[in-house]
Amino acid sequence: MEKQLSKKTLNKSFWLWFYGNLTCFSQEHMQTFGYLSAMLPICEELYAGEPDKLARSMKTYTAFFNTEPQIGAIVVGVTAGLEQARANGEPVDDETINGLRAGLMGPLAGIGDSLIVGTVIPILLGIALGLASGGSIIGPLFYVVTWNLFALLGMRFIYFKGYQLGGKAVEILVGEKAQAIRESIQIVGAMVIGAVAASWINVSTAYKMLDANGEVIVDLNNSLNSVYPKLLTAVTVVICWWLMSKRKISPTKVMGILVVVAFVGVLIGFFNPGLQY
């Protein structure tokens, strides 16, 4: 008789991945234990009473795994489907499964990092920041609800698509239509981040040129803002971008550079937060 994974087992496997993909993270094995725990209910159901086959299949998943864990749900779904095929005697071996896993890890990490962490989360956080002005609780609540719904439903969808369609399911994420959607969402991301930068970052200079009588001739901050509002903020962002992407300086070091810039700027009077008790 054909072996068929029950809905209950698949759900259990999905939730184990959803919750446990990174709970026992180490630099050496990364998501491997999350993967093993998500595959355990699958293998136990397929090979009940066959300890040899159970051992063989669990051994397959001891191979290293690491990707963007949320979009990686699709890989767990695909291997659940492959394992079921293997249990039914189809020609699926360790190499098929681990070749597929290794082949998908890199590209999916790239898509996941740029689309989810680099675009969707910043867009939702950007809107939430707007809603949180004045300390309103609507901002954080908006993010908690929209992000978790999006992530949970999205992960469930790709996990079960992966299980049903196998390797072909990856087309949903990397196909031409998916690419068109991705590029469109990235436009929203870039624009929202621009608006976030302009609304929330405030770099200004205190430099004023005075004449002999102490009258202000040039108020640098006002002059710059009349050229392009928030010019100094825009320039600071672009310089940070240039340091990181063209000079390959790490974010932590760029922060260190800014500390030096701030110190020198305060010394020569370019920056002055204008504090008093």
Site for other proteins in 73-102 (CB under 8 A): none
| Subset of 159-178 contacting other proteins (CB under 8 A) | 176-177
- Of 210 and 264, the one with the shorter C-beta distance to other proteins is 264
Taking CB under 8 A as the rule, does residue 194 contact other proteins?
Answer: yes
Give the whole-angstrom CA distance, residue 16 versus residue 76.
Answer: 11
The one segment of 1-9, 162-170, 207-215, 265-273 that binds other proteins by CB under 8 A:
265-273
- In whole angstroms, the minimum distance from the beta carbon of 34 to other proteins comes to 6
The whole-angstrom separation of Cα 193 and Cα 127 is 10
| Closest distance to other proteins from the beta carbon of 79 (Å) | 16
Chain CA centroid to CA 138, Å: 23
Q: Would you count residue 19 as binding other proteins (CB under 8 A)?
A: yes
137 binds other proteins (CB under 8 A): yes
Distance CA 162, CA 154 (A): 12
DSSP 135-189: T-THHHHHHHHHHHHHHHHHHHHHHHHHHHHGGGGGHHHHSHHHHHHHHHHHHHH
The secondary structure of residue 133, as a DSSP letter, is: T
DSSP 8-state symbol, 26: -
**Per rule CB under 8 A, is residue 103 in the interface with other proteins?**
no
Least Å distance, CB 98 to other proteins, is 16
Residue of 85, 121, 172, 220 interacting with other proteins (CB under 8 A): 121
Asked if 246 and 216 count as a contact pair (C-beta separation under 8 A), the reply is: no
For residue 229, state whether it binds other proteins (rule: CB under 8 A): yes
Judged by CB under 8 A, which of 187, 209, 216, 218 binds other proteins?
187
Closest approach of Cβ 157 to other proteins, in Å?
14
Q: Which amino acid is at 231?
A: L
Phi, psi (rounded to 5 degrees) for 29: -110, -10
Residue identified by tokens 């004449």 is 211
User: What number of CA atoms fall less than 13 Å from residue 224's CA on the CB side?
Assistant: 15
User: Which stretch, 76-84, 86-94, 208-216, 259-267, contacts other proteins (CB under 8 A)?
Assistant: 259-267
Q: How far apart are the first and last CA of the chain?
A: 81
- Per-residue interface string for the shown chain with other proteins, residues 29-68, x marking contact by CB under 8 A: xx-xxx-xx--x---x------x--xx--xx--x---x--
